[in-house]
């Protein structure tokens, strides 16, 4: 497996899918720190990351900035169009993409990328169209599990961890 780009949905993937909206209209989301570490490890391995989500949220912008996500698109209905733009810019082929999604609006991408994946609590139709279903739910470390699977398959994982902890240069795939 030669993954060069990991694309994530947010609600139900990076979060547990629940929305908390305060009386001031502010939207709150809970993110799992292990997913964040997985994204950092992917970056260290030279893999680019993107978020393409249908909702708009300041919480997503903040978390994506903290994690240095390479591409962040919110309020997107036609996710495939955005993915195609990213692929052209990066000169990456669809078979070099992992997409992690959980619901029917993710199906067009899940059915075209090289490594489609989903959290354990994704809807059943999505789980039928992916190559990997996490043992964990969205927002509970599923993204980290999937990234670890990719990195273990693509790199000497222990060397990657050692390099990450030492802060040495990125390993290439």
Residue extents of the structural domains in the chain:
5-166
pLDDT for residue 25: 87
pLDDT at 161: 85
pLDDT by residue for the chain (173 residues), tens only, comes to: 799 999 999 999 999 999 899 899 888 999 999 999 999 999 999 999 999 999 999 999 999 999 999 999 999 999 999 999 999 999 999 999 999 999 999 999 999 999 999 999 999 999 999 999 999 999 999 999 999 999 997 778 888 888 888 875 554 44
The two structure tokens encoding residue 81: 């169009």
CATH fold of 5-166 reads Rossmann fold (3.40.50)
Buried b (16+ CB within 10 A) or exposed e, 86-121: bbeebebeeebbbbbbbbebbbebbeebbbbbbbeb
Q: Residue 126: which of 101, 148, 92, 160 has the closest Cα?
A: 101
Instruction: Give the per-residue pLDDT at 172.
Output: 45
Give, as one character, the DSSP assignment of residue 131. Answer: S
141 sits in the region (left: phi over 0; alpha: psi -120 to 50; else beta) called: left
Q: Rounded to an integer, what distance in angstroms lies between the CA atom of residue 84 and that of residue 82?
A: 5
- What pLDDT was estimated at residue 169? 52
3-class SS at 20? Answer: strand
Say what the pLDDT of residue 33 is: 95
Residue 60 Cα distances to 43, 112, 134, angstroms: 18, 25, 22
d(C-alpha 146, C-alpha 144), whole Å: 5
pLDDT of residue 100: 98
How far apart, in whole angstroms, are the C-alpha atoms of residue 153 and residue 105?
A: 28
Q: Which two tokens stand for residue 37?
A: 């570490």
User: How high is the pLDDT of residue 157?
Assistant: 84
Is the pTM value of this prediction over 0.75? yes
Predicted pLDDT at 159:
83
């Amino acid at each position: 497996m030669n993954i060069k780009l990991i694309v994530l949905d947010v609600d139900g993937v990076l979060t547990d899918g629940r929305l908390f909206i305060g009386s001031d209209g502010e939207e709150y989301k809970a993110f799992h720190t292990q997913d964040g570490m997985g994204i950092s490890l992917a970056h260290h391995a030279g893999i680019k990351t993107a978020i393409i989500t249908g909702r708009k949220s300041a919480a997503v912008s903040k978390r994506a900035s903290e994690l240095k996500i390479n591409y962040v698109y919110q309020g997107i209905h036609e996710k495939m169009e955005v993915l195609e733009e990213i692929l052209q810019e990066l000169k990456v082929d669809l078979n070099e993409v992992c997409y992690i999604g959980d619901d029917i609006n993710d199906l067009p991408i899940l059915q075209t990328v090289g490594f489609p994946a989903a959290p354990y609590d994704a809807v059943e139709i999505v789980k039928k169209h992916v190559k990997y279903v996490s043992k964990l739910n969205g927002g509970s470390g599923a993204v980290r599990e999937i990234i670890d699977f990719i990195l273990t398959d693509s790199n000497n994982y222990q060397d990657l961890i050692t390099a990450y902890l030492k802060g040495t240069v990125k390993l290439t795939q």
